[in-house]
Structure 1
Amino acid sequence: MNTPMDWSNVRERVIAVEEAERRARGHGPSPRPTFEPVLTPAEIAEVEAQYGVALPDEYRAFLAEVGAGGPGPGRLTSLCRVDGTWGWLSDAGYHWLLDPSGPFVETGGWVDRQVATLRAAGCEPTARDGESDHLDDYRTVFGDAGEEAWYLERGRGAVLVSENGCGVTGWLVVVGPHRGEVRDRDCDVNPPFEPYLDARGNRHTFGSWYLEWLERREEAHR
């Protein structure tokens, strides 16, 4: 039986670190709230009803107890409603929507997933490109929508949960056998999704990933 993640005092600890960093730079208190407001149980239920899946437990509790966005490894995207639809809002203004139609595909299975999609559409894939796999085939089969279809399928079952600068992003797996784990992805055309690992080489879940980040920041200010 999994031990529930304890988020007590995490919000206060993050705020304290943020304030310590501002003081060290000679700045006063920030005029903006550190975190986005927490979500109510009813709002979380709306998100889950919209997508037809339950959010991973640690992340679900974070939304309810800490905030729906704010500081984190990089900067957490904000889970919010835009034009009546819940999604994850990036600093660039993109509102990422979860595709819950299938499990998140790990890097090792991505080529096979593309081939299956193309064959289901009546297309036999051409030779795989070394950088973009079968992106050109998607453009051929799906026309103007091909590139977007390819990118969206790559992120199926996961959500953009953090932005770490220079195009580096963090993703939370929501659907599939690795639900609750987080993945690191660079900004290249077709980069792999790499598991975040702790010091022992174990895969991070959202909770362990976030708390490790916080502990490192606290240590830097002691």
Structure 2
Amino acid sequence: MNTRVNWSGVRERVIAVEEAERRARGRGPSRYPTFENVLTPAAIAEVEAQFGVALPDEYRTFLAEVGAGGPGPALELMSLRRIDGKWGWVWESDEDHPWLLDPSGPFVETEDWADQQIATLRAAGYEPTTRDEDEDYLDDYRKVFGDAGDDAWFLERGRGAIPISDNGCGMTGWLIIVGPHRGELRDRDCAVNPPFEPYVDANGNRHTFRSWYLEWLEQRERQLDDQGL
């Protein structure tokens, strides 16, 4: 199936919505572009070569046809940028802390996360202690990995996925890149160890990147129509 047609006109529709909302608030045109530049096929191939994985088709074509960052569900999409010769996902201008995809294993669903921690600790020659109600085995990671324990625990939790959207107040949306649910999205609240919950549509079907993004855009367009804008 040719997925390239999926994003036809979407960039223009989002820009039109953004401009209509600015006019409704009495604001003039923005000084900044609505979207980051699209990525060339060569740039996308470079991203995939760096991480050793193929990006899900819907996201891959979005990068090529709509943009490498910009407006999206909740607040905005993460931006995919080359920083110091390496590609990574960043919040707005925070290029000091890019997210680098770990493709070494599949994304671990919430119900399997505790077992994954136990396996990691045992592989390091350590028998886990009692599971904490909120933080699972984070204290054990600190004992095993020392000062790197928090980072090891956090990065392993996001393995096989990328943060795709900033939902405000520390909440994030994630796109699964590696694993049986590749191409699906997960919603994560703000806490030390919140669950990853599937994004679903009105019928309870799990969203992919395209259905999630288009649902958001169509809702915004309906709101403008309802307001007569």
Q: TM bucket by the smaller chain?
A: over 0.9
CA distance in 1, matches of 2:210, 2:2: 11
Moved over 3 A (4+): none
- RMSD of the alignment, in Å? 1.0
Output one character per residue of 1:38-64: Cα deviation in whole Å (capped at 9) or x when no partner.
Answer: 000000000000000000000000000
| Structure 2 residue identity aligned to 1:102 | G
2:192 is equivalent to residue 189 of structure 1: yes
CA distance in 2, matches of 1:124, 1:102: 22
| Structure 2 residue identity aligned to 1:51 | F
| Structure 2 residue identity aligned to 1:171 | W
| Structure 2 residue identity aligned to 1:38 | V
Q: How far did residue 187 of structure 1 move?
A: 1.2
2:210 is equivalent to residue 207 of structure 1: yes
Query: Pick from 141, 165, 169: which aligns with 1:166?
Result: 169
Identity over aligned pairs, percent: 74
CA distance in 2, matches of 1:189, 1:211: 31
Output one character per residue of 1:191-218: Cα deviation in whole Å (capped at 9) or x when no partner.
Answer: 0000000000000000000000000000
What corresponds to 1:62 in structure 2?
62
Please state whether the residue corresponding to 2:207 is helix, strand or coil. Answer: coil
What corresponds to 1:31 in structure 2?
31
Where do 1:74-85 residues align within 5 Å? 74-85=75-86
Please state whether the residue corresponding to 1:160 is helix, strand or coil. Answer: strand
CA distance in 1, matches of 2:148, 2:82: 25
What corresponds to 1:72 in structure 2?
72
Where do 1:60-209 residues align within 5 Å? 60-73=60-73, 74-91=75-92, 93=94, 94-209=97-212
CA distance in 2, matches of 1:42, 1:6: 21
What corresponds to 1:11 in structure 2?
11
Please state whether the residue corresponding to 1:39 is helix, strand or coil. Answer: coil
Q: Where in structure 1 are there 5+ consecutive unaligned residues?
A: none
Q: How far did residue 92 of structure 1 move?
A: 6.5
Q: How far did residue 6 of structure 1 move?
A: 1.0
CA distance in 2, matches of 1:221, 1:16: 11
CA distance in 1, matches of 2:8, 2:117: 43
Q: How far did residue 91 of structure 1 move?
A: 2.9
Please state whether the residue corresponding to 1:60 is helix, strand or coil. Answer: helix
Q: How far did residue 15 of structure 1 move?
A: 0.2
CA distance in 2, matches of 1:92, 1:173: 23
CA distance in 2, matches of 1:198, 1:181: 12
Q: How far did residue 3 of structure 1 move?
A: 6.9
